[in-house]
Structure 1
Amino acid sequence: MFISTEIKVTPKKGPVALSDQAIWNDPSGDAFHIFGGRAPYMINRDKITKDGIWKFTVDGTGGGTWTLERPSNPDVLNKLNLTDMAAFTATHDSSAGGVAFVIGGTTAITIDPDSNNTSPTMDPKYWHRTPIPGMVSYDMKSRTFSRTDTSAAMPMLTGGRAHFVPQFGSNGLMLVLGGIIAGDVRDFNNITFYDPKTGQWGWQNTVGYAPTDRFDFCMVGVASPAGTYELFIYGGENEAPRARYAFYDDIYILSLLGFVWLKIDAHSVEPCNNQDCVVVGKRQMLVVGGLGKNWSTWDEDPFPQGLGIFDLTDLVWSKDGNYDADAEDYRTPKFVEEWYQDKNLSALSWSSDEVKRMFLKNPVSFTATTSGSAPTSIATSAPGPDSGQQSSVGKAGSIAGGVVGGAVILCILSGLAYWLWQKRSKPSPSDEELKPGQSNGNALKHSPSLEPKRKLPTEGLATEMYTPPDELACGGGINERWELDASSPPRELDTSHGACELGVESSEVTR
């Protein structure tokens, strides 16, 4: 069976072949721009120009044209460094024309014709490149360039990724993830973001299962009807010595506004780095290009027809590389939704009240799939930054907290019953104060390190639950630490305990 397919070829009257350039969509939706990029192996290096930036406009029939868009302030562009390996993104405001941002990157004689770097090594693959600090912005409406110092928030970033999230902040926020700064690969436990409207940088710690440190991965984002926004990162590499040149084939989700990382149980056929990915249709990620673990451009692409298709809701790879044009709208993956429904958002410790307001201005509401059930609303109130609480992910925290709480109540009831039995058999001194570590046989032991010491009341049982001392000691030589403070981190009971009672001397519990 033969299938006839028409292939359209766009005449290449535009930029020379480039690698690792910054590329962003025009807010009009029918064009894109490129900035910088490297001429591989110095081929056509002399044809790289700084007279403007290249813009490709589609014609609606599968083709388009290249034009060199000249800025209104060419003197600023001429003073900038053209770069590769930069993090880049653009705002989506079509009325304002949109602004593109290019953060960091490197420059060399194969990238910028004005570069004074003229000492390549023997192997052209490793031609020396100089990291460039700062952030370049380009206003697509006024066609003006500007440069912003980022030394405090993002000094000399290479190999990182940026993404614009339109629904948070005053008019959207730009998030910057991963990459290398000063030779160190950045981790994903802290997310840095930038408000294009105010020009302010911010940060927020994450919770959950963060990806391994990496760079040269690809990232896409999509908004859900529930009010969340999910970022998906795929692949990448880590050439730090401690990582032993690791290459990755995994996918992680960062869900906002919860700042929670969740790992997907789905892997591509082979590891991939330096690839590009984009959301196509309503809920599918398209992966194109990249390198494998051998870092060879001669290796066969492991994806069918060189195209990787991943469903962002069902979280599965298309085995045959087919794109589903009839796919339903994107919905937050089920296990991400469960994280919010378990009220884990309330345990998030915010970096500041201002950051908290940025992300909690709109509620999260998941519509239940069960017939006849009402939508599930998730409260978006969380403790302030002074709470000192560190958050945990999943159900383990709430389960462990319930188990500990139940065990504590059993200890209290057991202690009261034991006290009543002793009171009837042998009177206890009413005013005698015990020394640390001593016991008269019917009083609870106290830790010598905790003050003040308290005793159970000598009156009859009260109508309200007695407030226990700071710690209970139940004897038997088996002691576990416990706390009743609801804001404390969840703890798990040691499975080796022999009684239902808790004491004070314990090894530290791992969360």
Structure 2
Amino acid sequence: MVTKPLLGMAPAVLYLVSLLCLLNLAGADRPVGPDPIENFCSRWWLQSTIKNDTLYIDSGVQKFNASNSTYLGTNTYIMTISLKKSWNWKKDSGDPQFMEVSTEPKNITNNDTGTYVPNNFRGYMFSGPHNSSQVYQFGGSTYMYNQSFVVKPAPSSFTYPLWTYTPGSGPLDTKWDQYDMNQEIKWEPNHGAGADAPDLGLGFYLNGQVDKGTSSDTNKLFDDTDQTYYRPVDGMLVLDLVNPGKAKNISTSTMKENLSRVGGTLDYIPSVGKSGILVALGGQIQPTLQNGKASSKEGKLIDFGSVDVFDIDSYLKNPDSNGKWYQQKTTGEIPPPRIDYCSVSVSAPDNSSHHIIIYGGQNPTLGQPAYFDDVAVLSLPSFRWKQMWSADTPRWGHNCHMAGKQQMITVGGNFTTNTTNPRCDWLKKGVAIFDLKERRWGSVYNSNSGDFTLHDQLLPSTNGTANGNATIGEPVTGWSSVELHKLFWETRWTRPTSWTSKAPPEDATEQQPTTSSTGSSSSDTSSPGNPASNTAAIAGGISGGVVCLGVILAALIYHHHRRRNKPAELPDNHIHLASQTDTPEKQKSHNFELQGINENNPVELDAWKYIEADNCTATGDAAELPGTNQVPGAVPGMPILRFPGDDLPVVPENPGGLRKSASRGSRSSTGSASSRRASSSGGSRRSRESRRSSTAPITGP
């Protein structure tokens, strides 16, 4: 029964009393959003990963279908799907192949700090080291569009960009923990590109952005609730996931275009190089900013005509450096540029080829945005693109992972041009399966799909078989860098034995680009370290003169052999040595080689550069031997030894015309440190150390 004093309360007081009663019933936890499975309409820009045969799906923008109405909000649950058994997402409950999705709400706070577990979108989820059961949630932004959503979107501090979730039984609030990254980053980024290196215990996060939903500070700088505007973020973070909270920010200024990217991808190929490589694809850049801000509907997209390759070992050898990036041209059926697509990578069983598969995406920079529904594959080391599949049901803002060894599983995605009122997804559980062997989409996940085999469409990119055996070990256009060539010939695992392309010479330097069978060299024959530019050393002393002559002859023969495929002497079957006594008519009646400009005698084309001889001459001192030593009556091709005191012949000027071709050039572990886990202090934890990188700090507003 309601008493009269209560009936006399003002409506506002009644509301507060009711709210207090609800809080008392629900404890201190904030409200939880609708069930993401029962009320599913569509979901995109989520975080997901696979670890220990379990697919984890976290947060993301979601369109809910509840009470005969649809509305936008945020998924406030973490979900898991077992990959230990086969399933079919089309099957109903009770069927042996039913796909069961487990959910756990995230309306709880961390016990140590009282900070709510975030429900972000456009972040990245790392699987982390194999010997850990945790998964790692990094970055992201608060979705700000629907301010009336039950879990009111209000961005918090960016102090804790890294959270860990530990699966298993026990209280939910003990499963989540947070880390402040030693203040290595100034802002919590989102929409960047992430890559997992579980065998190294590392995570990589490339560039990204900050926007209205990043933090309570950036919320004041933007007034667009649809989060169209943002500020690009520089650098690549290297996260130590063995000791969460430790990270380093390194510069990416040597990447293609030298501008921060959003919406691209980053793939880890563990078997290339001494510690693996990262391959960065796509993304959107902003050549010009307005007051430091950019619009997602403007700017420029990174094309797929070349890719950026990062040598992880170059960083691990010297963590104080920024590591080494390379750019390599691609060929084949190059897909159109895009962002918000997904990618996975897989290698042939014998390690002779590697394949990066991309799917879907969008181009928001066009007057009429473009959306994609295709699957394209970039094969390495041929760096050749192949379009494997296409249709007319676009999808963007999704993730994809290798499930088993033959299937790619996609998670979430939007397929409409209207982001404020998207249609419901035809994938009722938000996942789909693409079989790489059969080259088709389906609803069945096969937990026993066997080893990865190449589809017939990929064989021209490898010139091998379905099980590997690639014979192509280089790009069609040749290597852009001798160091990149050498990197692909290094491996922690089994070196491919089927490649027929040439290995990079051991003494190659970066100043001497290599040349593939279809490319051309740009190195100079006089470059330091080039064996073709030097003759053999000669034993010193007068008594060793004969030996010196023999060595020089051998070197010249070898040098001539190296030059056999280059422009040199013109072939002639009737070589005639010209004489000064010959009449003009007699000279014209004979065929003979091109003449030098200082002698009427046959000489080689453009052989006027000096050839170095070390201190092996008769006097023991270094002397210069012109490569065109000729005297009247000398035999072409035979060296003229001159000793101190002899008059040297005149060195001919550069005859111009043809030039001989440039010579062909040739070709850890992480430091472990204890994690700097934030300590509790009045509901907020900050690291007592500030280890901001001096190389390339991430800049914020």
Q: TM-score, normalised by structure 2?
A: 0.49
Q: In the alignment, is the contact (CA less than 8 A) between 1:55 and 1:69 conserved in 2? A: yes
> Distance between the aligned counterparts of 1:60 and 1:203, measured in 2?
47
Q: In the alignment, is the contact (CA less than 8 A) between 2:212 and 2:227 conserved in 1? A: no
User: How many pairs does the alignment contain?
Assistant: 377
Cα separation, partners in 2 of 1:128 and 1:2, compared to 1, 3 Å: closer
- Tell which has more relative contact order, 1 or 2 (C-alpha 8 A, sep 6+): 2
Report the aligned-residue RMSD: 3.4
SS at match of 1:45: coil
1:78-136: per-residue Cα shift (whole Å, max 9, x none)? xx21111101112222xx5x122211111023113333752313xx2144211111122
Amino acid at match of 1:132: V
> Distance between the aligned counterparts of 1:146 and 1:38, measured in 2?
21
Q: In the alignment, is the contact (CA less than 8 A) between 2:123 and 2:190 conserved in 1? A: yes
Q: In the alignment, is the contact (CA less than 8 A) between 1:45 and 1:111 conserved in 2? A: no
> Distance between the aligned counterparts of 1:380 and 1:65, measured in 2?
55
> Distance between the aligned counterparts of 1:344 and 1:330, measured in 2?
19
After superposition, where does 1:399-478 map in structure 2 within 5 Å?
Answer: none
Q: In the alignment, is the contact (CA less than 8 A) between 1:283 and 1:327 conserved in 2? A: yes
**In the alignment, what sits opposite 2:400?**
277
**In the alignment, what sits opposite 2:487?**
358
**In the alignment, what sits opposite 1:337?**
459
**In the alignment, what sits opposite 2:196?**
90
Q: In the alignment, is the contact (CA less than 8 A) between 2:436 and 2:455 conserved in 1? A: yes
Residue 26 of structure 1 and its aligned partner are, at CA, apart by: 1.1
Q: In the alignment, is the contact (CA less than 8 A) between 2:128 and 2:241 conserved in 1? A: yes
**In the alignment, what sits opposite 1:445?**
none
**In the alignment, what sits opposite 1:241?**
366
2:204 to 101, 107, 117: 101
> Distance between the aligned counterparts of 1:150 and 1:169, measured in 2?
20
**In the alignment, what sits opposite 2:427?**
303
Amino acid at match of 2:135: F
After superposition, where does 1:3-14 map in structure 2 within 5 Å?
Answer: 3-4=93-94, 8-12=102-106, 13=108
**In the alignment, what sits opposite 1:27?**
129
User: Quick check: 40-49 or 327-336, which moved more?
Assistant: 40-49
Q: In the alignment, is the contact (CA less than 8 A) between 1:360 and 1:380 conserved in 2? A: no
SS at match of 2:218: coil
Note the residue ranges of structure 2 that are not aligned, 5 or more in a row.
1-90, 109-115, 146-151, 287-298, 315-322, 465-470, 505-511, 520-586, 591-604, 606-660, 662-701
Cα separation, partners in 2 of 1:358 and 1:117, compared to 1, 3 Å: farther
SS at match of 1:230: strand
Amino acid at match of 1:186: I
Residue 339 of structure 1 and its aligned partner are, at CA, apart by: 3.3
> Which has the greater radius of gyration?
2
> Distance between the aligned counterparts of 2:268 and 2:174, measured in 1?
27
Note the residue ranges of structure 1 that are not aligned, 5 or more in a row.
366-376, 392-429, 434-450, 452-484, 486-511
1:55 to 157, 161, 164: 164
Q: TM-score, normalised by structure 1?
A: 0.66
Residue 279 of structure 1 and its aligned partner are, at CA, apart by: 0.9
**In the alignment, what sits opposite 2:311?**
195
Amino acid at match of 2:153: N
> Distance between the aligned counterparts of 1:253 and 1:31, measured in 2?
31
1:362-398: per-residue Cα shift (whole Å, max 9, x none)? 6546xxxxxxxxxxx332426884538757xxxxxxx
SS at match of 1:74: helix
1:252-294: per-residue Cα shift (whole Å, max 9, x none)? 1111122111111x23561011111111122111111111132
Residue 2 of structure 1 and its aligned partner are, at CA, apart by: 6.3
Residue 155 of structure 1 and its aligned partner are, at CA, apart by: 2.3
Matched, 1:381 2:502: yes
Cα separation, partners in 2 of 1:337 and 1:127, compared to 1, 3 Å: closer
**In the alignment, what sits opposite 1:287?**
410
**In the alignment, what sits opposite 1:139?**
240
**In the alignment, what sits opposite 1:469?**
none
> Distance between the aligned counterparts of 2:219 and 2:428, measured in 1?
43
**In the alignment, what sits opposite 1:267?**
390
Cα separation, partners in 2 of 1:352 and 1:150, compared to 1, 3 Å: same
> Distance between the aligned counterparts of 1:64 and 1:164, measured in 2?
33
Q: In the alignment, is the contact (CA less than 8 A) between 2:409 and 2:432 conserved in 1? A: yes
1:76 to 176, 184, 187: 184
Amino acid at match of 1:226: D
Amino acid at match of 1:181: I
Cα separation, partners in 2 of 1:37 and 1:344, compared to 1, 3 Å: same
Amino acid at match of 1:311: D
Cα separation, partners in 2 of 1:308 and 1:83, compared to 1, 3 Å: same
Residue 317 of structure 1 and its aligned partner are, at CA, apart by: 1.1
**In the alignment, what sits opposite 1:130?**
231
2:254 to 143, 146, 152: 152
Residue 210 of structure 1 and its aligned partner are, at CA, apart by: 1.2
> Distance between the aligned counterparts of 2:219 and 2:392, measured in 1?
42
**In the alignment, what sits opposite 2:450?**
328
> Distance between the aligned counterparts of 2:191 and 2:410, measured in 1?
18
**In the alignment, what sits opposite 1:177?**
281
> Distance between the aligned counterparts of 1:2 and 1:260, measured in 2?
42
Cα separation, partners in 2 of 1:322 and 1:287, compared to 1, 3 Å: same
Q: In the alignment, is the contact (CA less than 8 A) between 2:211 and 2:222 conserved in 1? A: no
Amino acid at match of 1:184: K
